[in-house]
Amino acid sequence: MTGISFTHESQPARPTGLLAWLHLDLPLLTGLMLLSGVGLLILYSAGDQEWALIQRQLVRLGIAFGVMIILAQLHITHLRRWSPWLYIAGVLMLVAVIFFGQTGKGAQRWLDLGFFRFQPSEMMKLALPMMIAWYLAEKRLPPKRRRLLAAAIMTLIPVLLIAKQPDLGTALLVASAGICILFLAGIGWQLISLFAVSMAALGPVIWFFMHDYQKRRVLTFINPENDPLGAGYHIIQSKIAIGSGGLTGKGWLNGTQSHLEFLPERHTDFVFAVISEEFGLIGIAALLALYFFIILRGLYIATQAQDTFSRLLSGALTLVFFVYLFVNIGMVSGVLPVVGVPLPLISYGGTSLVTILAGFGILMSIHTHRKLLPT
């Protein structure tokens, strides 16, 4: 087998064997498997050494990797053809959630389809980049202003629907998917800055629409020490966990912040603080290197993609994965406000896991279904 390195310049020889037959990309697969392994290790510690938790996470990983393998088999042309329909179905379901949704943790996110409960906002994380990529790939790039505006509206519709649930974290991720594609499609810096300015202007408007707990989060982010026992507690405790980890950490299973229940949501959104406390800066550097490897591989796949749709989509999915990482670490280490974004592949929980690995399935499909072209 070849192709472990992602840096080689020339067109690789098409790999053969089981992986090739399953349309899997070995570097990506290795990275993802390693990350999931690390995730289980951390989960064992953060979840107070509870085996049941590990077992449940293993089942979810199995399902998610299954979904990834299935998606890798699908040829990208099928996906491209389904893109608009998936998007429309997604938007309709988001509307349905508002009317018939299940309520959980104070927000309506779930749609009960009888046999299983489904979170349409998660599907949107994939459907939106597919839709925009499909739409922009129809005409030559860079896109004209009118088409850009249309793409922006296409992004805004699901984002607003999701924000209304309210699920700020997912809305943010979906929005970032749309922005990433526009960025990849090559819009100019002027437009990006215009966008940034208009977002800043929208701030007060968004503030007005925000729920109390969201407002509190933002205020807490600005000054966590203001309310050390209330809303600021998460951030203060997580910073203590990270800071007290030091260079080498307190050792696996020895994090006092985590094990003595000072750190809230330590096996879900704040799992990064547990890693920092137990493995220190060295452990964090190694973990970030692993993420970096996966992201670079994803971006490499994007550069190797053979059509605009594939290139835009693979680039966007990789960047969304990166946004996950950045937002999560940023919030846990106190540089971003607390929004519910998990640490990809490590945080306990199934829904985002499936979406993320489904995205990587699409990436693998794009990479392994290329036609062999002469160099």
Partner 1 sequence: MAAIIVTLTLLLLLTRMLYLQVLNHEHFTTLSLDNRVKLEPRPPTRGLIYDSHGTILAQNLPAYSLDIIPEKTPDIDATIQALSEIIPINEDDRKRFKRLRQQRRRFDSIPIRVRLSDEEVARFAVNQHRFPGVDVQAKLLRDYPLQEQTAHVLGYVGRINKQELQRINASNYSGTSHIGKNGVEKTYENQLHGNVGLQQVEVNAKGRVLRVLENQPPQPGENLHLFLDMDLQAAAMEALKDYNGAVAAIDTRTGGVLALVSKPGYDPNLFVEGISSKDYKALRDSLDKPLFNRAIRGQYPPGSTVKPFIGLAGLEMGVVSFNQQTYCPGFYQLPGHDHKYRDWKKTGHGQMAMEDAIIQSCDVYYYELARTLGIDRLHDFLTTLGFGSRSGIDLTGERSGLLPSREWKRKARREPWYPGETLITGIGQGYFLTTPLQLATATATLANRGQRIRPRMVKSIDLPDGTREATRMESTQLSQVDPEHWEQIIHAMQQVVEGLRGTARRIRSDHYSIAGKTGTAQVFTIKQDEEYDEATVDKRKRDHALFIAFAPVDEPRIAIAVIVENGGHGGSVAAPIARKVMDRYLLREASTPTRLH
Residues that bind partner 1 (CB under 8 A): 183-184, 229, 237, 239-247, 256-257, 260-262, 276, 280-281, 284-285, 288, 291-292, 295-296, 299, 302, 315, 318-319, 322, 326, 329-330, 333, 335
Q: Which is nearer to partner 1, 252 or 262 (CB)?
A: 262
C-alpha radius of gyration, the chain, whole number: 21
Helices (H), ranges, the chain: 18-21, 26-46, 51-73, 76-100, 120-137, 145-163, 168-184, 189-209, 212-222, 233-245, 256-259, 271-304, 308-332, 351-368
List, edge to edge, every strand of the sheet that includes 107-112: 102-104, 107-112, 117-118
User: H-type helices in 9-110, by residue range?
Assistant: 18-21, 26-46, 51-73, 76-100
What is the distance between the alpha carbons of residues 259 and 266, in angstroms, rounded to a whole number?
Answer: 9
* Of 90 and 255, CB closest to partner 1: 255
Dihedral sign, CA of 351, 355, 361, 364?
negative
Comparison of 62 and 251: residue with beta carbon closer to partner 1: 251
Q: How remote is the C-alpha of 191 from its chain's centroid?
A: 25
**Least distance from partner 1 to the Cβ atom of residue 93, Å:** 31
* Min CB(134)–partner 1 separation in Å: 20
Q: Considering the complex, state which of residue 87 and residue 279 has its C-beta at the smaller distance from partner 1.
A: 279
Identify which of residues 58 and 222 has a Cβ nearer to partner 1 in the complex: 222
235, 338 Cβ separation under 8 angstroms: yes
11: amino acid identity, one letter: Q
Q: How far is the CB of 264 from partner 1 (least distance, A)?
A: 8
Nearest distance from C-beta of residue 34 to partner 1, angstroms: 17
Partners of residue 366 on adjacent β-strands: none
For partner 1, the closer CB: 122 or 265: 265
CB 184 to partner 1: min, Å: 7
Of residues 66 and 186, the one with the C-beta less far from partner 1: 186
Nearer residue to partner 1 within complex by CB, 162 or 184: 184
Q: What SS3 state is found at 167?
A: coil
In the complex, what is the shortest distance from the CB of residue 228 to partner 1, in angstroms, rounded to a whole number? 10
Residues 237 and 333 sit within 8 Å (Cβ to Cβ): no
Find the shortest distance in angstroms from Cβ 182 to partner 1. Answer: 13
Q: Can you tell me whether residue 17 is helix, strand or coil?
A: coil
| Phi, psi angle pair for 299, to nearest 5° | -65, -35
Burial class (CB in 10 A: 0-12, 13-18, 19+), 374: exposed
- 65 or 324, CB closer to partner 1? 324
Shortest approach of partner 1 to residue 322 CB, angstroms? 5
Shortest distance in whole angstroms from residue 91 CB to partner 1: 27
End-to-end CA distance of the chain: 21
Identify the burial level of 148 via C-beta atoms within 10 angstroms of its C-beta, where 0-12 means exposed, 13-18 middle and 19 or more buried.
Answer: middle
